[in-house]
Amino acid sequence: MSAGNPKQKIVLGERDMAVELATGTRQLPVASLPDKCIDWIEQGRRGMYNRLLQKEAPEFFSAHLPVVITQAKEGEFPFNCSNKGIGYVPRQERLSEYIDLFQETLHNTRGKPWQESMAARIEAMSQFYFDRDAVDYRAMTGLEIFARQTYQNLEQTPLAALHFTGCAPEYMSFQLNCAVEVIAEDDPRHTFVLLARTMFEYDDFHIVQPQYPFAYIFWISEVVDKTPRQVPTEKEVSVHGGMRWSPEASQAVERAPGMIQQFIREQIEQYAADKGVEEIGLQLVQEARQVLQGGEERDAIGPYGKIFAAVDGSELSSAAMDLAVRIGKGNGSELYGCHVYAAKLHDQRFRAMEGGLPEKYQEEEELEKQRDVHDSLITQGLELITDSYLEHMSGLCQQAELPFTGISLEGRNWQELVEDIEAHDYDLIALGAFGIGRVSRSLLGTVSERVLRRVRRDVLLCKRSEGEEEGASEPPGSDKIVVCLDGSTRSWGALMRGIQLSRTFGKQLIAVSAFDPYFHYTMFNSLNEVLTDKAREVFKFEEQEKLHEDIIDSGLAKIYQSHLQIAEKVAADEGVELETHLLDGKAFDKILEFVQNTSPWLLVVGRIGIHSDEEMDIGGNTENLCRLAPCNLLVVDSQYKPSVEYQAEATVTWTKEARAKMEIVPPMAQGVAMQAVQNYCLAEGHTIVTGSVLNAAIRDILPPEAIKRMGISFEDEDRESQEKIALSFSCPACGHVHHGSRPQACPICDREGSEFKLSESRKVEDGVVLDALGERQLVWDPACLAELDAVEDEVQRRQIRTQLEKRALTRRVTTVTLEMFREAAGLAPPEPVWTDEATTRLERVPEGFMRRAAQDTVEAYARDNGFLEITLEVAEGGMGKAREKMAAAMRGDKTEAHGRRGSGVVEGDAPGESAAQAFDWDAEALAKIERVPPGFMRTMTRSRIEEWARQHGYERITLQVVEEKYANWGEGSDRVERELEWSQEALTRTEKIPDFIRPVVMREIERHVKESGAEHVTGEAMARFLETLSGDGQFHRTT
């Protein structure tokens, strides 16, 4: 390796360059990359960035890793080939701009987990790579990592060829013949290349190296397109099934290796046949490739082209008709109205009751007269009624400028409706949920239910009419559409229909996903009472129970949360904002509760769910919602599947040894078990599952007795790790429980691990010991049992008890407390009550901000320790915590001043009160706040800045807003009147105190100094004051 700067061997001109070779100086032309190459490289880079953002493992990035071919002076084979990471270099005038951008990005993302900072890194790289005015397309660049054969060859002969090759079906290939400039670390271009690599330097993507002594600038002299081509023919190529291919389409496929050509042809021909295409052109080949590689077609669900409404003159039938017209207007639909009258039924019933007519109607003449009247009713009256119903709908369609067809049918109403629907290609069926025979106890009309069960179309059930409640034009909550997701194709179809209707009517779109983590516990509890010892042994009852309790149930939460994450991406692609909610409990019950609380305009559900057979008429949850939901419903039979790139992706790589160890898990549960291990790795910050990581995950996921029963052993077990105390932490947002050390982040909802709450078994006075599943026992707080017994509904009481047992066992605590009951029952914890002595103590704190802060800290201390009453002792304990934090902050002690590292939130704060959640903070504003000592001071600084933002009407907190508030504080600090003389050392120490609290603290310090008999505030006096704060002395004294 050469020391210092390499010898300059290239002199660049405007159109050519002078290259120093062993044979003398040569003049070579300077060329630029053609657009075809640039497009291909950009496409590959965008694809890689998308995979990284979707947390997919990066694939071989051919547009970044060409073969670099260099030439040696001697040898039988004087050429060296190596794959190297090659990228762009900026134009000279833009070089410093992107060096600054990359340095700033690395500074802002330093210390953050790789996945958390991924988006920021990609954004910075994209600003450069996709700005064609910034890139110098005459050159490409790369770092030299090893400085071996390639470097030695270029030192002797600074010429190289870069050979790029792409993948099917285009098989893009081109060769760049270049003169190579070797640059050292003091060159700004080397700085740029090194920064670009550092942006993506982590083990799964790049090998991290200690140093990169040299970089290369490949100045392009010649571009050779080596993309393989078929010799053109004049005739079209005829292939299987009589399908014809254009020459361009055939050439696109024939670039593929012979062994897979036939497979590609068959896939494209099948795609063409499905679309009804008989001749395959280049455009269809490209379209098929996009679909076959990227998943189902995105536009598989079109608008409602034909809408059918059943009318019978009832209030809800009219509402269904009105809504059908409104939807039709938004979709440009054809409208069909249908009324069925039962003439034969009426005639049969009249004849059957003739024998029961009064005597005067039994005379032959009078009887014939009544028969004529009834026949007139059947032949003319029912037709007139039908015409009236259809005429009304015709008028609505005419006003909306929509085509309308009226249909009159005679026969049994539901049967005729079903036969007509099945005979035609209607897209949407609109029905009133009840007909004219509705009674108060009706849950769903007979005709509507029979039609709903038998047709395979989207069905709109109107359960309330416009203006039904309190004379309003639309019912309360009419701005919302709620879609239910369970991962089935029909639930995704419901999402797409919800998106379409949201755009049509300008409604807010909400998606909910509900899973039941308590079902397995209830099921095993039931089995526990009936299984014989022999059956338990065959069924492996204890192992199955533990597997479901600790792995499968938590895996469900991740699965259903992923449905919502995919839905957000699909909705964003469609330009619709989506609000999401993850619900836990019996699906239809939790959804019904959500609907009752939000009063949506429309509830959209799939006809059948993820666990239903195709032959099922309607899913159980959908059936219950159709009966019980108090709003309009759209039952969707349309099916949709999001693109493959949006499906739940694996974010963790497994070694072969780790995969082999997973064979101990029963096959039916291996998928969910692997997901549970991956969740553990995400929480712990691992990206690769090795044998040791898997051992640690199993020990933390499964209790020791389950590990023993399943026969799991750890031959390479770390004895020291066994001796660690296993703790349990629960996520405050989604309830996920993590065992072991405090997690870095929640694998379910991405909540920061610093906000997880430690689950501990609290001491219970006079506790009641009750049996739980699996021969375990729990100690119940008598107050909790009293609350449970007070629940009047027996089913609800049993459900709450099941949930409490499940949560206690999952969190690995041995007690069930009143707080847990309130959590399970959805009750807010009561606010702690202050005694008179505690209130008097609080009033000794200076009034205003200091007192409010002290009150918040004491109440948080009480809640965290389970105190429902704040006595003088509790108040002193809470204020002691506050004094410790303030003293540590004033000392600049970052290890004691904060409750959670870098969070800026005092321990015990409610997560929902965090400033970052109340307002949208930009990165610069957050960086400014991070300079405030963490803990009490930073939390209060954030609070005051948010208060300032609210007062001045800011919706987003930027650096400018923070600076404005700081300036406001500065004005207040400048007006502080000091009564004593302060030494420079003492004044310097006060600068660590935030401006908004500095005047109060300085007055306290002066009072402390006066009480000691001194007349000057010195550094020594400040030290004594700090001792008072951290010791037993009282900071808050009566003024």
Per residue in 738-775, pLDDT (tens digit) is 766 667 777 666 677 777 776 655 666 677 878 776 66
Q: Of 570-584, 748-762, 870-884, which one has max mean pLDDT?
A: 570-584
Whole-number pLDDT of residue 626: 92
CA atoms within 13 A on the CB side of 914: 21
Helix (H, G, I), strand (E, B) or coil at 215: strand
Ramachandran angles phi, psi of 928, nearest 5°: -65, -45
Average pLDDT over residues 465-487: 66
Helix (H, G, I), strand (E, B) or coil at 902: coil
Name the nearest CA neighbour of 732 among 751, 719, 704, 713. Answer: 751
Render pLDDT for 323-332 as a digit per residue (tens, 0 to 9).
999 999 988 8
Whole-number pLDDT of residue 524: 60
Whole-number pLDDT of residue 192: 94
The number of beta carbons lying within 10 Å of the beta carbon of residue 247 is: 16
The domains found in the chain, sorted by start residue, are 10-225 (2.30.110.10), 237-294 (1.10.8.550), 306-360+409-645 (3.40.50.12370), 768-824 (no CATH), 834-1030 (no CATH)
Ramachandran angles phi, psi of 434, nearest 5°: -135, 155
Look at 1026 and 897; give whichever has higher pLDDT: 1026
Give burial (CB, 10 Å; 0-12/13-18/19+) of 23: exposed
Whole-number pLDDT of residue 510: 95
Contact residues for 391 (Cβ-Cβ < 8 A; gap 6+) = 406
Render pLDDT for 826-849 as a digit per residue (tens, 0 to 9).
665 666 778 888 888 887 776 655
Average pLDDT over residues 66-72: 91
Render pLDDT for 667-725 as a digit per residue (tens, 0 to 9).
545 555 666 676 666 566 565 677 777 777 776 666 555 555 555 665 544 444 443 44
Which region among 193-197, 261-265, 545-549, 658-662 has the lowest average model confidence (pLDDT)? 545-549
Q: Of 208-222, 451-465, 919-933, which one has max mean pLDDT?
A: 451-465
Is 355 a residue whose pLDDT tops 80?
no
Cα 664 to Cα 694: distance, rounded to the nearest angstrom: 12
% of the chain exceeding 90 in pLDDT = 19
Cα 393 to Cα 391: distance, rounded to the nearest angstrom: 5
Q: Edge-to-edge, what's the strand order for the sheet holding 173-184?
A: 79-83, 67-71, 159-165, 173-184, 214-225, 139-144
Whole-number pLDDT of residue 360: 59
Cα 907 to Cα 935: distance, rounded to the nearest angstrom: 8
Task: Please tell me the chain's helix, strand, coil percentages from 3-state DSSP, rounded to the nearest 5.
Answer: 50, 15, 35
Cα 907 to Cα 928: distance, rounded to the nearest angstrom: 21
Whole-number pLDDT of residue 459: 95
Give burial (CB, 10 Å; 0-12/13-18/19+) of 441: exposed
- Helical axes 364-376 vs 343-353, angle rounded to 10°: 160
Look at 251 and 886; give whichever has higher pLDDT: 251
Whole-number pLDDT of residue 1033: 39
Contact status, residue 621 vs residue 652, Cβ threshold 8 Å: no
- Read off the pTM: 0.45
Whole-number pLDDT of residue 427: 93
Whole-number pLDDT of residue 679: 66
Cis status of the peptide bond prior to 169, with omega within 30 of 0: yes
Whole-number pLDDT of residue 521: 63
Cα 171 to Cα 149: distance, rounded to the nearest angstrom: 29
Render pLDDT for 373-399 as a digit per residue (tens, 0 to 9).
655 555 555 566 777 778 889 999 999
